Chain A
């Protein structure tokens, strides 16, 4: 974090172009040589309602949302301002301005659209502005847009205005607009951009300090979301079949894949429900195609039975689970990390599955690839567990990060030549589920291969796949399937996919999983800067759990704080269960209000935890260590 760090927030109603404008803004800053990170907040409705996107940008790498923000562009909520007859939009007219003030930092900059927003409707606006040293620039963006183009172009006017105030070169925006807009809307947009920019420079005296410096990157960057990187990881790993049913926020991965796969000669299927979706993925995989499906909480619940079938039949498949706040429909557009236990243990019987939880947008690419490697290498279902935050946030990543060889390898399958010598039963069935398989992995045959036919069943079965309830067979097969997890653990230990933060030696530890990793990393740095001795670990392997690595980490610290976005401390519970001890060392910092952590909340939470105090911020909860 440097002094020039920009935390720009664009607010308005859903449907007002907040997402696309902020995406272009972030890209412009990335092209200007800065590191960027976006944070989205939107309600579960299509039009209107309070929504914002934050773009944090700095000359140094940015790993998280910031603490509050320092520049607000408040566009009016067009739907609240022009209600359709009979539609009720509540008292939302001033929300793009009023709702954001609580988090605006001291000395912050405000640009708002006087064409749609009236600051007089906020009773104490002026006093608060004065108290907090906010620099307010009221501009009639709506009128400018109307005069030079169309009203919907208000966002372009807003960008022109903040660019002037922050000192960003307009060329970056023009370039982006030229790349995405047809001629007839490009011209008026350009005019609006320049007009507003110049007007703001002429008419206002700038009282604020915030300016954006030019940065530079050593190498070419790309701006991607976690949904993008999950899809690209799957593509590079040779996944060419996807089946799904829309559900926020999994829909993003589904959409990206559905658009990409036909171009790659692959197949995407939107089907009748999630049970069907997972079953299709199994069917395609069984027939010899790398395939995936996925959903979010409720939809994933429906996949429980096909998931169990994949385990029992050892049909490889990758399922992605995009968490949102639950239970049931919960907060459809808000992040939470409370489906961990659901994903670990759903479906009947003992669980033999892989569960990976990427910690960043960039990591989601590797883990998506890894999920396929493990699924197909070991004939086991692999679940990629992420949340609405990672799925939707944008981050710059070096383009070279994705410059990797494709890996279409189908994993543990046989060739027809191998089938000739492979053991078969007296009826001619290939012994698909043989007892003596190395690492528990018995290679499979693909329908259509000569001499390969066998029977798949969700019932317990013998080597040929016939239903078999013999107790010895049962024990042998259960143990063989479970042994695959040990082999996978060994494979993962060599890769060490956990992310370490801070110094090697430290007195305290911060532990997290999934999407909070970047925020914890920033908190670790801040705590060390403030004189604490702290290191952190972002865990990505949920099953099989990295027992050795975590034991080592926990033995090396006096106490550790587990940071996660749920109310019951599911990851802390998993850690205690897997390690069988350390209960007296582990305390929890939890947040479950629908918003991800800000770094400062973790800093405060940590300080409170080592001093044994309550966390002051009511949005986060501290749960002390319990002992084993």
Chain B
């Protein structure tokens, strides 16, 4: 029997299982977009049929990083920008876990930008939610990597001279096999995308538009938004990388002009996930490595028997 019997448990999952019954100290401001992410995520869980004991949610630091306080599962509230390397190793150690990483736009595209590129490139089978509110929330309103050019803040008093990061294009060119954007104002679309992302076998990146009414007062609420997969005005094939790239570029540009385009921008279901690639070249065991430590019959190899001959 598996040492991790929560995994694959066959029963109805209730979304309320993911709600801490004892409310943690409320740390999000009223009206914060982060509540929309939380709601969508809770709604998605019963659909993917995973229970709180088989989900590992790794967050970074920021208001967004506090998602873990509101969501009941194995949680790892880590350090600023580092949720991805922690999450992907956990996934390698036990591929049967449902691994979700989450953080803000500062966390994911700023301090953690390098990890974002590399995790996408490796195509780890996990879901990465970036709460994109175009601002640093927790540290009180500084310009973030997705703030529009010219954005004024206490640390950029003359307005940012930088063009914003293009997260969808970055995810796509880095190698993410699922790229989507959704918005906290519409938990229904968000839920659908989250379900797809979690079911997707590879690195699923979701740029999740959230609003920060406290520090980004003039920021849009991202409504009305257009679902590019539903609208007749946009005709592109999300499985075609070139078309996806063109659409992502358009969505990124038009966001700063006031038009909110959401939906699935790229879906590649054929690409092997990183674990599968590693297993194919013989660099990773088929059985979850973590199981081995609970298997009393496993014969642990010794350096003496395996490697000492070459030193004689």
Contact = CB atoms under 8 A, between A and B. Distances in A.
Interface of A: 220-224, 228, 231-233, 235-236, 238, 240-241, 243, 260, 262-269, 271-273, 275-277, 279-284, 286-291, 305-306, 308-309, 313, 399, 402-406, 408, 410, 415-416, 425-429, 445-459, 465-467
16 contacts: A235-B302, A241-B89, A260-B307, A262-B284, A267-B285, A269-B92, A276-B114, A282-B78, A283-B86, A288-B94, A288-B293, A309-B79, A427-B20, A446-B290, A447-B90, A450-B5
Interface stretch (B66-74, B199-207, B231-239): B66-74
B293 A267 contact: no
A317 to B, nearest CB: 11
Contacts of A305: 79, 82
A447 B94 contact: yes
Contacts of A446: 3-4, 290
A455 B77 contact: yes
A283 B283 contact: no
A262 B283 CA distance: 5
Nearest to B94: A287
A224 B7 CA distance: 43
Given A241-B92, A266-B289, A448-B94, 10 more contacts: A232-B304, A266-B285, A280-B85, A282-B86, A284-B289, A289-B93, A406-B302, A448-B7, A452-B74, A455-B68
B94 A457 contact: no
A283 B82 CA distance: 10
B223 to A, nearest CB: 32
A224 B310 CA distance: 10
A458 B79 contact: yes
B145 interface: no
A288 B93 contact: yes
Contacts of B217: none
Interface string B1-28: 0011111010000000100111011000
B85 A453 contact: no
Given A399-B308, A427-B20, A453-B73, A275 B85 contact: yes
A428 B292 contact: no
B94 A428 contact: no
Given A222-B308, A458-B77, A276 B85 contact: yes
A287 B293 CA distance: 11
Given A289-B293, A453-B53, A466-B69, A235 B97 contact: no
B96 interface: yes
Contacts of B20: 427-429
Contacts of A453: 52-53, 72-75
Given A447-B56, A452-B74, A306 B285 contact: no
A458 B54 CA distance: 22
Contacts of A282: 78, 86, 89
B290 A448 contact: yes
Nearest to B75: A455
A448 B92 contact: no
Interface of B: 3-7, 9, 17, 20-22, 24-25, 52-54, 56, 58, 61, 66, 68-69, 72-79, 82, 85-94, 96-97, 114-115, 117-118, 278, 282-285, 289-290, 292-294, 298, 300-304, 306-308, 311-312
Nearest to A425: B22
B78 A309 contact: yes
Contacts of B304: 232, 236, 399, 402-404
A306 B82 contact: yes
Contacts of A465: 75
A280 B74 contact: no
A34 B307 CA distance: 22
Contacts of A291: 89, 93
A427 B72 contact: yes
Contacts of A455: 68-69, 75-77
A415 B4 CA distance: 9
A454 B115 contact: no
Given A447-B90, A455-B77, A457-B68, A238 B300 contact: yes
A232 B3 CA distance: 27
Contacts of A267: 92-93, 278, 283-285, 289
Contact of B21 (A264, A402, A405, A427): A427
A265 B295 CA distance: 14
B89 A408 contact: no
Contacts of A272: 114-115, 117-118
A236 B94 contact: no
B89 to A, nearest CB: 3
Contacts of B68: 455, 457
Nearest to A427: B20
B56 A235 contact: no
A408 B289 CA distance: 12
Contacts of B289: 240-241, 265-267, 284, 289
A449 B303 contact: no
Nearest to A312: B79
A287 B93 contact: yes
Which one of B53, B93, B114, B308 has the highest number of Cβ atoms from chain A below 10 Å of its Cβ? B93
Contact of B89 (A262, A279, A402, A405): A279
A276 B290 contact: no
A329 B67 CA distance: 40
A269 B289 CA distance: 14
A427 B117 CA distance: 36
Contact of A408 (B88, B92, B300): B300
A288 B58 CA distance: 15
B24 A447 contact: no
A283 B87 contact: yes
A233, A290, A451, A453, most chain B CB atoms within 10 A: A453
A460 to B, nearest CB: 12
A468 to B, nearest CB: 8
B299 to A, nearest CB: 9
B308 A283 contact: no
Contacts of B17: 428
B79 to A, nearest CB: 5
A451 B93 contact: no
Contacts of B303: 231-233, 235-236, 260, 402
Contacts of A220: 312
A235 B114 CA distance: 30
B89 A284 contact: yes
Contact of B78 (A231, A279, A288, A428): A279
B278 to A, nearest CB: 7
Contacts of B308: 222, 399, 402
A222 B79 contact: no
Contact of A416 (B5, B82, B283, B298): B5
Contacts of A457: 68, 75-78
A291 B311 CA distance: 25
Given A309-B79, A427-B72, A449 B4 contact: yes
A243 B93 CA distance: 12
